[in-house]
Amino acid sequence: MSTYRAEYIWIDGSIPTPKLRSKTMIVNSDKDMPTYDDLPIWGFDGSSTNQAMGSASDCVLRPVFSCPDPIRERDSLLVMTEVLNTDLSPHRSNTRAACAEAAARYADQEFIFGIEQEYTFFKGMRPLGFPDHGFPAPQGGYYCGVGADEVFGRPAVEEHLQRCLDAGLDISGINAEVMPGQWEFQIGPTPALDVSDQLWVARWLLYRVGEHHDVNATLYPKPARGDWNGAGAHTNFSTKTMRSDYQACVDAAEALGTRHELHIANYGFAIEERLTGLHETCSYREFRYGVSDRGASIRIPWQVEKAQKGYIEDRRPNANMDPYVVTRLIMETVCGAMAAKA
């Protein structure tokens, strides 16, 4: 019998953008390393997280994904959970349940997603690298930069990368972004529920690692007003057919145009602050797709056109989007259009 520390993580009911919460359960198990399906459901006080009234405050946590805890290391694990009502139906804040349904319905398409998570470190009230008064040099040298005058927060970024790898997440890369203090990591490509569960855990690790470096990460889509880039979560995806057929890639881009407003409305709070049309990606009022076009809503990478197969990039989602919602909508919209065509 061993004793484990299981960190149960959940998404709360904060408005307009939910936050992550977590608490620790001590678990005794005779397993070598328990995983989420060995772990019990748990509860929490929903009246403290905008998920319940004080008079009926209990909400339920059901484990859905787990990995080794790279912060505590020995005998510990991180557990992503979904929130249920006490009758075990999905709570109104639970967006995973609908994503799971869509993933099951369209399983034959073999969707995979790669999400580019941009974020911005803050120190106090200002982005890391912004002086106390005035502004840093204009954007130009920061993206993928090197040197103490170009990058801010690298120790935290490196630690986050290492912890994601230690946790066994499918992290596929990192880079410094266009605005000082702004960075990106990518998760995937992997199916909708995997990429989403892992992205939420990677976000939790980002905040947690920030505690070690006295910086806090924000996913706010427009963290500095003016001529500074926003923060997005470009969502790359493919179906089995797209991975072997270019026309299917074009069809998927066309399909996304048929429900543009619905997607924009569900791609993260304050998307109109970020998609102004002035910084990469066109205005939220417009929809277009194109090869290599970073000004488009949907980009078809040049290698995909060349190889005549592959994937496409939905550039519209904000950094603060919910991956359960974004991947579900993409599956429903792309498959809905296919069904209509057939």
Q: Which residues bind ligand ADP (CB under 6 A)?
A: 112-114, 116, 172-173, 186, 188-189, 234, 236-238, 243, 310-311, 313
**Partner whose footprint covers residue 236, from Mn ion, ligand ADP, none (CB < 5 to 8 Å by kind):** ligand ADP
Q: Please, which residue, 34 or 230, has the CB nearer to ligand ADP? A: 230
The interaxial angle of helices 154-166 and 192-213, nearest 10 deg, is: 140
What residues contact residue 123 under an 8 Å CB cut-off, 6+ apart? 214, 215
Q: How far is the CB of 313 from ligand ADP (least distance, A)?
A: 6
Sign of CA dihedral 192, 198, 200, 206: negative
Binding of Mn ion at residue 234 (CB under 5 A)? yes
Q: In angstroms, rounded to a whole number, what is the distance separating the alpha carbons of residues 115 and 168? A: 17
Strands (E), 41-131: 42-45, 58-68, 76-84, 112-123, 126-127
Binding of Mn ion at residue 21 (CB under 5 A)? no
Q: Please, which residue, 99 or 312, has the CB nearer to Mn ion? A: 312
Q: Among all residues, whose Cβ is closest to ligand ADP?
A: 114
Q: How far is the CB of 301 from ligand ADP (least distance, A)?
A: 7
| Part of the chain binding Mn ion (CB under 5 A), chosen from 47-55, 82-90, 146-154, 231-239 | 231-239
What residues contact residue 100 under an 8 Å CB cut-off, 6+ apart? 193
Q: Among all residues, whose Cβ is closest to Mn ion?
A: 234
Q: For residue 97, what are the CA distances in angstroms to 15, 192, 196?
A: 20, 12, 12
Q: How far is the CB of 231 from Mn ion (least distance, A)?
A: 9
**Number of amino acids touching Mn ion (CB under 5 A):** 3
Q: Which residues in this chain contact Mn ion in the complex, by CB under 5 A? A: 116, 184, 234
